[in-house]
A = this chain, B = another copy of it.
Amino acid sequence: MSDSSPQPQSLHQRILNDIQQLILTGAWQPGHKIPVEHELMKQYNCSRMTVSKVLTQLAHARMIERRRKSGSFVSRPHSQSAVLTIPDIKTEVAALGMPYSFEVLHKVRRRASAEERELLGFERAVSVLEIECRHLAGERPFCFEQRLINLEAVPEAAKETFEETAPGAWLLQRVPWTLAEHRIRATGAEARSAKLLGIERGAAVLTIERTTRSAQSTAITFVRLIYPGDQHELVATFSPERVGRSAQ
């Protein structure tokens, strides 16, 4: 699992890895001054552009800070951060080695209520599609999904039955590049979700709420995913975001 790339790839990568290593291992503590470009140039016997590119990348990744005339310095880590991937539910179930299925419980087209407009970040009236789904891993309820789709943004959704493809996956195909905001909470299950998930009322559930916007910041969809608490686990990895991604 540990970086077992045989050829040390490009000069770029080598310099970048070297410096990154020094920082990650703590050999260069926060505040440490990184050799100036001309020194690195001599050290690696390369041109300035090359080292500059490397340092720029590191700066983008916020591992170093660059100050004109003074030089570059190892920056102080901002706080604990992680890259959290919330996969498609189908993928998630598949990863457990269980057969996946889902059912649409409810589907209505209507005007958004005041509260819903708030969630979607709208002032005006909008027409939305409300969908409720249940996702199953084998026979077992895996997740309860409550979704609102902004029909102004995705009018085709009105005609879709969502029998083949679940709303989430369908939307991802249709509007591939989106910005999203997530809120993750633990709550006690209220009556409806408890029943649908086959758990007791008040049992702990993990709730993930996501508002998805297109780049122009029009809200596309709002979704609330409710997972039985003790069954499900969100896994996130990494603190310092990887800069050079060599082997996938």
Which A residues have a C-beta under 8 Å from some C-beta of B?
Answer: 2, 21, 23-26, 29-30, 53, 57, 60, 63, 76-88, 91, 168, 172, 175-188, 202-207, 210, 212, 214-217, 227, 229-230, 232-241, 243, 245
What's the nearest-Cβ distance from chain B to residue A15, in Å? 15
Q: Is the CB of B176 within 8 A of A77?
A: yes
4 A-B pairs besides A80-B210, A82-B182, A179-B239 with CB distance below 8 A are A24-B214, A79-B87, A186-B187, A186-B227
Specify which chain B residues have a CB less than 8 angstroms from the CB of A243 in the assembled complex: 60
Which residue of the partner chain, among B21, B85, B245, contacts A79 with CB atoms under 8 Å? B85
Q: Is the CB of B245 within 8 A of A229?
A: no
What's the nearest-Cβ distance from chain B to residue A50, in Å? 12
What's the nearest-Cβ distance from chain B to residue A235, in Å? 6
Q: Is the CB of B214 within 8 A of A26?
A: yes
**Residue with the greatest number of chain B CB neighbours at <10 A, chosen from A24, A79, A205, A210:** A79
Q: Is the CB of B29 within 8 A of A176?
A: yes
Given contacts A82-B180, A177-B23, contact A186 B214 (CB under 8 A): no
**Residue with the greatest number of chain B CB neighbours at <10 A, chosen from A183, A184, A210:** A184
A125 to B113, CA, bound (A): 59
Given contacts A82-B180, A83-B83, A182-B237, contact A188 B204 (CB under 8 A): yes
Q: Is the CB of B87 within 8 A of A85?
A: no
Q: Is the CB of A84 within 8 A of B236?
A: yes
What's the nearest-Cβ distance from chain B to residue A36, in Å? 21
Which residue of the partner chain, among B76, B210, B229, contacts A176 with CB atoms under 8 Å? B76
Q: Is the CB of B240 within 8 A of A185?
A: no
